[in-house]
Amino acid sequence: MGEEIAVTGIGLVTPGGIGAEQTWETVCAGRSTAHTDPALRDAPVDLSCRVPPLESGRGRLWRFDRSTRFLLIAAREALASAQLNPADWDCGRVAVVIGTAAGGIGTLETQHHKLLATGPTALSPMTLPAFLPNMAAGHLALELGVTGPSLQTSTACASGATALITAAFLLRAGACDIAVAGGTDAMVTPLCAAAFAKMGALSTRCDAPARASRPFDKDRDGFVLGEGCGLLVLERRQHADARAARVLAVLAGHGTTSDAHHPTAPHPTGAGLRSATSMALTGAGADPTDVDHVNAHGTSTPLNDAAEAAAIRDLYAPRHPTVTSAKGVLGHTMGAAGAIEAALTAMSIARRTVPPTANFTTADDSTTGIDIVHGTSRPQPIRLALSHSLGFGGHNTVLAFTSA
């Protein structure tokens, strides 16, 4: 795989809290953030997992799409965590790589309504800079004064993980020394909620929001729409050591494949996920017997969880790594999910703790034999952990993290 890639900073804005610590505490408590959402009152399913209210008076944030606001807030935390100051770095040697599934979809919907209701004079001049898919990375590069590569990736719900892989490639190719990478999305909108409901992808357990998202549970019936942002600061290990940075975890390997099976359904055997896992393990110089923990994609949809469970059960048998999914707490944060879950995986390694899978109470045939952590967090030393991300279009991405 080449030179080690160090994780030196983490920033999170999630339904579990503004910041990595608040998110970690919420996820470890197994406390669902799903609620009835007044903004979705006319949608077929009115549940969502929203980011807590952002502080007012955060400078120019009002100008940006909600997804970009999350990104700029998470970036401040990630840089502080990495003890990096943009005033001190070589701005031409820093990259920004951000994943998104839908860009500024909320801005697009709002401005379209204005156009229909009032006409073109009602449109904001910030419409295009707010919703174009590349602009989150562009705005962050502008905010940080970064002049290295600035890229946006889009592989649906694997977008944030794909951004981390892209950043690792840039670092190993010598295109930058530091990469601020991850994913952001704010798809809790009437259009997205109605569209996912029409597909049958959402949980319809509207009378019990907190128990709606049930990853791997026998009674799972779909996901809850969420939003948020996850960012990691990545550096080559040599660069991180040279500046005496604290290394939280090491991105030791990664794999990405395509199912070429169906526009929205995963391959039923998890074939593409297995291939991506093999690539990640090869990169990490490991085999399935070395894996201690899996942070699963675990959407709570019947098809995803069955396919992912089949891959996990067969890949690691007879040894069983611990498995968890954060979506019972945070909902499905779409293009941000891969980066948020990568951050949680790195935190699990650093803190020797596996958070529980909220709302998992009853196994079915597909999950028999899998060690799904549920109920409470479990203390566990972790040498090697994998983070899975799967996306519409058949995208499979696996990240392998080791301890520092």
Residues annotated as catalytic are 157, 297, 332
What SS3 state is found at 212?
coil
For residues 248 and 351, what is the distance between their CA atoms, to the nearest angstrom?
10
Helices (H), 243-336: 271-284, 302-316, 327-330
- What residue type is assigned to position 162 of the chain? T
Q: Cα dihedral sign for 156, 162, 166, 167?
A: positive
Look at strands 293-295 and 353-354 and give their pairing: unpaired
For residues 49 and 225, what is the distance between their CA atoms, to the nearest angstrom?
6
Surface-to-core class of residue 134, CB atoms within 10 Å of its CB (0-12 exposed, 13-18 middle, 19+ buried): middle
For residues 26 and 198, what is the distance between their CA atoms, to the nearest angstrom?
30
Burial pattern 8-43, b for ≥16 Cβ within 10 A else e, equals bbbbbbbbbbbbbeebbebbbebebbbbebeebeeb
Number of neighbouring beta carbons within 10 Å of residue 63: 13
CA angle at residue 105 from 100 to 109, to 5 degrees?
175
